[in-house]
Amino acid sequence: MAEALRVGIAGLGTVGAAVARVLEQKAGELTRQCGRPIVVTAVSARDRKRDRGADLSGAQWFDDPSELARKAQIDVFVELIGGDEGPARTSVKTALEAGRHVVTANKALLAKHGVALAEIAERRGVLLNYEAAVAGGIPVIKTLREALAGNSVSRVFGILNGTCNYILTRMEAEGLSFDDCLADAQRLGYAEADPTFDIEGNDTAHKLSILTSLAFGTKIAADDIYLEGISNITQADIRAARDLGYRIKLLGVAQKTDSGIEQRVHPTMVPTASVIAQVNGVTNAVAIETDILGELLLSGPGAGGNATASAVVGDVADIAKSRPGFQHGPVFGWPAKELKPYKKAKMRSHAGGYFIRLTVHDRIGVFAAVAKRMADNDISLESIVQHASDSAEAEKTVILITHETTEAAVRKAVDGITRDGHTTSKPQVIRIERAA
């Protein structure tokens, strides 16, 4: 049997502790599957006394994760610290430059420095694995990087944040407000005390930028993503979507267009009958559209200690199965130096059109003025529905469903309606997406 694979873990929080437990509890199975033992020989954490549920008495402790990466007798450095700078970046870079394989669950680090780190890994001939960085336990990175060889990807999209999906699911199922659902998510540990990063779409954007690079061979461009969160979604939107046969999900979408690559994160209406509409709670789902295979949908736990630990251990096991002299594939599917500069596409037409909710004054001529603004911008309407307002004010709610049109046309029409003085509150615009 080959020598043991020596692993160093930096960060023993929820995920790091779960990784240590899985490696200990599944040691026999992993040895049989990989043809060699996997042993944790070094760790770095703030609190040495805390019980992590695993025996780490034989591991060497380091206060500084970069010291672990540089000096420890390890083959694989597992980074579970978090953050795009500081100890996480320094220790990962140190490990790669020292010729050690790296496994990370750090989406923020990869979104900001992934290409530079990939260049180091490929120059040093080591692996940089990051399955746990996107969609938790769902093997979407391996699918894009390895399983779809020969396929050309045209679009990748999905539910990439469990917190947002949990909130939208509860809002629909129980008729709760956004604020009530968020408070409950925080109480249950699904949302942070400061939930901004999740609910405003930043977390999804980081994950999407990594998928975009894998799918289309471009450099990571996390700052070039159209971003819209879910904090402005109301029960009026939820009810209107249900009445029209849709469900609202926060989607990250990346697709190839004639003018470049389009990346966007925003609330989206998907048909209730679609598979992705059935993905509820904290579950994640990723759909990949290709020329050979067609459409593939992967779904499963997107966060949590065990789900993330499963992906981390899978990455470690892949390294254990490799042997000296084996030529490793590129980190992002293409050699890092050959990744194309990201060319941002113009916001294009969206198949299925747009949902527009207007709260307008209940007076003669408003309905005709709204229709005229749409016509002036060449927007064809599939349906128009009027509802009396829930408030005591003299106002009505107008729901418009458009045929396929452009982002610019919709925004121009809505801005015109607002300037005309017909609206009593900010209009709501939600894209309608064809979905798996």
Domains and CATH numbers, the chain: 5-136+305-336 (3.40.50.720), 141-301 (3.30.360.10), 354-432 (3.30.70.260)
Instruction: Give the three-state DSSP class for 59.
Output: coil
Counting DSSP H helices and E strands in the chain, the numbers are: 14, 16
The pLDDT value given to residue 327:
64
Residues 77/102, Cβ–Cβ less than 8 Å: yes
Instruction: Give the three-state DSSP class for 50.
Output: coil
Nearest to 249 by CA among 224, 275, 214: 275
Q: Read off the amino acid at residue 127.
A: L
Residues 170/176, Cβ–Cβ less than 8 Å: yes
CA distance 97 to 70: 9
Q: Which residues contact 373 (CB under 8 A, 6 or more apart)?
A: 413, 416, 417, 420
290 C-beta neighbours (distance < 10 Å), count: 18
> In the structure, what pLDDT confidence band is assigned to residue 349 with cuts at 50, 70 and 90?
low
> 372-402 pLDDT, tens per residue?
999 999 999 988 887 765 555 678 888 999 9
Residues belonging to the active site: 207
Helix (H) or strand (E) holding 114: helix 107-124
The average confidence (pLDDT) of the chain is: 91
Nearest to 279 by CA among 305, 250, 252, 306: 250
* Whole-number Cα distances in Å, 358 to 202, 370, 378, 399: 27, 9, 19, 6
Q: What is the percent of the chain where pLDDT is above 70?
A: 96
> 47-96 pLDDT, tens per residue?
888 888 898 988 999 999 999 999 989 999 999 999 999 999 999 999 99
> 14-38 pLDDT, tens per residue?
899 999 999 999 999 999 999 999 9
CA distance 4 to 66: 23
The pLDDT value given to residue 252:
96
CA 69 to chain centre: 28
Would you say residue 182 has pLDDT above 90? yes
Alpha helices in 146-217 (DSSP H): 162-174, 178-188, 196-199, 202-216
| pTM metric for this prediction | 0.91
The pLDDT value given to residue 47:
85
Nearest to 302 by CA among 314, 310, 293: 310
CA distance 184 to 182: 5
Residues 205/227, Cβ–Cβ less than 8 Å: yes
> 46-61 pLDDT, tens per residue?
888 888 889 898 899 9
Beta strands at 428-432 and 354-361: parallel, antiparallel or unpaired: antiparallel
Would you say residue 255 has pLDDT above 90? yes
